[in-house]
């Protein structure tokens, strides 16, 4: 696996995690 590809996968995972985190924050805020 190339370094660039690994970085891209990591970015996608971080995006997914941050969107889930926002969902949780929204639920707690209500």
9 is written with which tokens? 């996968």
Q: What is the pTM of this model?
A: 0.57
3-state secondary structure the chain: CCHHHHHHHHHHHHHHHHHHHHHHHHHHHC
Q: What are phi and psi of 18, to 5 degrees?
A: -70, -35
21 is written with which tokens? 């985190």
Q: What are phi and psi of 27, to 5 degrees?
A: -65, -40
- The residues of the chain scoring below 70 in pLDDT are 1
């Amino acid at each position: 696996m190339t370094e660039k590809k690994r970085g891209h996968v990591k970015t996608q995972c971080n995006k997914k995690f941050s969107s889930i985190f926002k969902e949780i924050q929204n639920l707690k805020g209500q």
